[in-house]
Amino acid sequence: MTPLSLAAVLLLTLGLVACGDKPPPVVIQVPAASPAAVPGPAGPKGVSGTDGKPGAQGATGQSGKSTTVIVAPPAAPPY
């Protein structure tokens, strides 16, 4: 098991033990796979190559954002 799924199981178990009848849903922050910054497109070239300057560098890519995963524990069985 990965540490993340271990933590999810632990949180679910604690939630079920702590609250008797209806445990609240457990909200877990899961970071999305953040891709490395991707270089942007190359900048415009010099006008007809006469000024001899290279184009400016493109913008870098955006980093990944975390997503929220809501795990709803099962309802407690009737007694």
Residue 16's nearest CA partner among 73, 77, 78 is 73
Predicted pLDDT of residue 69 = 62
Residue 40 forms part of a structural domain? no
Predicted pLDDT of residue 39 = 66
Phi, psi of 70 (to 5 degrees): -105, 120
What does the alpha-carbon distance between residue 69 and residue 59 come to, in Å, rounded to a whole number? 31
Residue 20 forms part of a structural domain? yes
Residue 77 forms part of a structural domain? yes
List the domain range (segments joined by +) for residue 26. Answer: 9-32+64-79
Residue 71 forms part of a structural domain? yes
Residue 24 forms part of a structural domain? yes
Q: What is the pTM of this model?
A: 0.20
Residue 17 forms part of a structural domain? yes
Extended beta strands in the chain, E state = 26-31, 66-71
- Into how many domains does the chain fold? 1
Q: In a structure prediction context, what are the per-residue pLDDT tens digits for the chain, which is 79 residues long? A: 566 676 767 666 665 554 455 656 666 666 665 555 666 666 666 555 555 666 566 665 555 555 566 666 666 666 6
Residue 76 forms part of a structural domain? yes
